[in-house]
């Protein structure tokens, strides 16, 4: 009985977190959007009347203004901010204080997602098989779930609603072990340049370095789940994040792809050990509607 209670409670917490995420961005991301709006406005106002950049900057500023209006409407109406309510990607971290089994957690997660999809008027965006029938599951299930052990505390579920306009811009490169930081930088910049206006810029960039091919891409999602604007604890990787952030602005993709002065809202890099013969680089891009949610369940933190 105890477990039934816990399961229902966890499902309810997942539902609540997703209903909030589909209509609201995290305060740190809202602050970044405000920053970009102010900066883009000053840059636009600073242009002379005949400046060739005027059209591009004004259109970019219009995109940022519409995003603000859209977020206000989503807040007021409870409508999803974007009709692509995505596929749920969940990182489940299990500490020693967790009293539920993996199966129970998985079931609670599924039912929490199904409830949010129904109550939040999500779009049914998941199909059963990728190649042949592509039959819609009508529940947005299954989610993509990754399981991790944790040394202390209870259960932490980090989720994102991953839209596919941006997910289709994901990329992997297997670099030489001697590539070095310059090649890592230029490889990632090429990936972002190729994505261009397609992933609904302004973007949040997640980069995964090391591991194996699939691990690098997983790390890039882990990076996207970090709080927007947080800095990597290793100063070398923190510098890499800053270099990427600055260089992406230099690509002049701009909001909506219109060529404005700023494109990146934030960059996060995660790394892990890798093989002597390789340097995997995984990249995941999030649109500005970078919808994330965290559920803590049981234990301290």
Partner 1 sequence: MRREIRLPFDPGTISSLEAYDRVLLSGTVLVGRDQVHQRLSRLLQDGKDLPVPLQGETMYYMGPSATPDSMVIGSCGPTTSARMDRFVPALMEAGLVATIGKGPRSPQVIEAIRRHGGLYLIAFGGCGALYATKVVSQHILAFGELGPEALVRLEIRDFPVIVGIDSRGNSVFA
- Give the interface with partner 1 as residue ranges (CB under 8 A): 23, 55-56, 58-59, 62-63, 66-67, 69-71, 73-74, 77-85, 121-125, 136, 138, 163, 165, 168, 196-198, 200, 256-259, 287-289
Tokens of 260: 């404005």
Closest by CA to 291, choosing from 8, 40, 13, 29, is 29
Tell me the closest approach of the beta carbon of residue 165 to partner 1, in angstroms. 5
Tell me the closest approach of the beta carbon of residue 203 to partner 1, in angstroms. 11
The residue (of 112 and 202) whose beta carbon lies closer to partner 1 is 202
Q: Measuring CA to CA, how many Å separate 31 from each of 34, 224, 228, 276? A: 5, 17, 10, 41
Burial 270-289 (b: 16+ CB within 10 A, else e): bbeebeeebbbbbbbbbbbb
Give CA–CA dist 6/231, Å, rounded: 35
Contact status, residue 50 vs residue 273, Cβ threshold 8 Å? no
Contact status, residue 239 vs residue 254, Cβ threshold 8 Å? no
The residue (of 218 and 253) whose beta carbon lies closer to partner 1 is 253
- The neighbour count for residue 84, using CB atoms within 10 Å, is 19
Tell me the closest approach of the beta carbon of residue 10 to partner 1, in angstroms. 24
Tell me the closest approach of the beta carbon of residue 72 to partner 1, in angstroms. 9
Tell me the closest approach of the beta carbon of residue 252 to partner 1, in angstroms. 12
Tell me the closest approach of the beta carbon of residue 81 to partner 1, in angstroms. 5
The residue (of 82 and 268) whose beta carbon lies closer to partner 1 is 82
The residue (of 123 and 150) whose beta carbon lies closer to partner 1 is 123
Phi, psi of 171 (to 5 degrees): -150, 155
- The neighbour count for residue 39, using CB atoms within 10 Å, is 15
The residue (of 129 and 182) whose beta carbon lies closer to partner 1 is 129
The residue (of 99 and 136) whose beta carbon lies closer to partner 1 is 136
Task: Tally the residues of the chain.
Answer: 301
Tell me the closest approach of the beta carbon of residue 70 to partner 1, in angstroms. 4
The residue (of 79 and 294) whose beta carbon lies closer to partner 1 is 79
Contact status, residue 86 vs residue 18, Cβ threshold 8 Å? no
| Secondary structure E strands in 49-186 | 87-94, 144-149, 155-162, 171-175
Tell me the closest approach of the beta carbon of residue 168 to partner 1, in angstroms. 7
Closest by CA to 64, choosing from 288, 217, 222, is 288
The residue (of 258 and 271) whose beta carbon lies closer to partner 1 is 258
Look-up of token digits 């969940």: 90
């Amino acid at each position: 009985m105890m477990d039934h209670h816990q399961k229902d409670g966890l499902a309810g917490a997942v539902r609540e977190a997703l209903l909030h995420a589909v209509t609201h961005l995290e305060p740190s991301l809202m602050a970044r959007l405000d920053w970009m709006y102010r900066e883009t406005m000053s840059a636009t106002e600073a242009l002379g009347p005949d400046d060739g950049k005027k059209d591009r900057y004004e259109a970019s500023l219009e995109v940022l203004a519409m995003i603000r209006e859209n977020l206000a409407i989503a807040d007021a109406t409870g409508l999803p901010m974007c009709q692509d309510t995505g596929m749920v990607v969940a990182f489940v971290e299990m500490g020693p204080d967790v009293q539920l089994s993996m199966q129970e957690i998985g079931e609670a997660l599924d039912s929490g997602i199904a409830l949010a999809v129904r109550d939040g008027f999500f779009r049914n965006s998941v199909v059963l098989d990728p190649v042949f029938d592509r039959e819609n599951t009508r529940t947005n299930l299954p989610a993509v779930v990754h399981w991790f052990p944790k040394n202390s505390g209870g259960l932490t579920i980090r989720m994102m609603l991953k839209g596919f306009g941006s997910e289709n811009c994901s990329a992997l490169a297997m670099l030489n072990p001697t590539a070095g930081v310059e090649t890592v930088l230029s490889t990632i910049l090429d990936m972002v340049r190729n994505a261009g206006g397609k992933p609904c810029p302004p973007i949040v960039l997640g980069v995964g370095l090391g591991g194996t091919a699939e691990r690098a891409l997983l790390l890039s999602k882990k990076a996207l789940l970090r709080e927007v604007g947080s800095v990597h604890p290793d100063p070398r990787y923190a510098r890499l994040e800053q270099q990427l952030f600055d260089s992406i602005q230099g690509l002049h993709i701009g909001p909506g792809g219109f060529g404005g002065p700023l494109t990146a809202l934030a960059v996060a890099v995660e790394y892990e050990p890798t093989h002597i013969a390789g340097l995997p680089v995984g990249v995941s891009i999030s649109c500005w509607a970078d919808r994330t949610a965290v559920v803590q369940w049981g234990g301290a933190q």
